[in-house]
Amino acid sequence: MTADASTPWLVAGLGNPGPGYAGNRHNVGFMVVELLAQRMGGSFKRHGKAQAQVVEGRIGPPGPAGRRVVLAKPMSYMNLSGGPVVGLRDFYKVPTGRVVAVHDELDIDFGALRLKLGGGDNGHNGLKSMTKVMGAEYHRVRFGIGRPPGRMPVADFVLKDFSSAERRELDYFVDRAADAVECLVLEGLERAQSAYNS
């Protein structure tokens, strides 16, 4: 599939569906795409062909400089994210190189960002599921959540809400991650990495 200016980008925020998970560290991908949807003036609606909620719109200035974007929240659980994402990729005819996964990352300090194309899944079940069904050559916006304290199991840590200290800064970091996605879509990976990788 070749991409031209009219080919959309697919930005998938990874998380778990349902209000019980909404504030979890594992759901920071949802938080970022929800902010992007607000900026575009759209609200998520269930997609007819894929198990996901989507918003279609544009990022950037009006006219040809803007980019078509589909924002998505897979409504499967995290470890099954690949099915909904590949369903949307095929439905919207998006090349894998224009798919962006926004996800939590344990090996990065809280709030820090790393953008990259391709690579391993680092034990992240959402990425593992995506890579299994469509290969690894999609973009990632990795949002640092840090490591669990003491001996807390990773599974417990990612399914807990951000701490009260983290919540004081969370809006700022989510805003910065949304900026990074926009920069990636509009100006490319290198520019976004130099501006936002920390």
Q: Which of 26, 103, 124, 139 is catalytic?
A: 26
Active site residue 103: no
DSSP-derived secondary structure letter, 62: S
Exposed, middle or buried, 32 (CB in 10 Å: 0-12/13-18/19+)? Answer: buried
Closest C-alpha to 158, from 126, 116, 133, 198: 126
Q: 3-state DSSP call for residue 67?
A: strand
Beta strands in the chain (DSSP E): 9-13, 45-46, 52-59, 67-74, 99-105, 113-117, 139-144
Q: 103 with 180: CB under 8 angstroms? A: no
Do the beta carbons of residue 17 and residue 155 sit within 8 Å?
A: no
Q: What angle do CA 172, 188, 109 make, to 5 degrees?
A: 35
Active site residues: 26
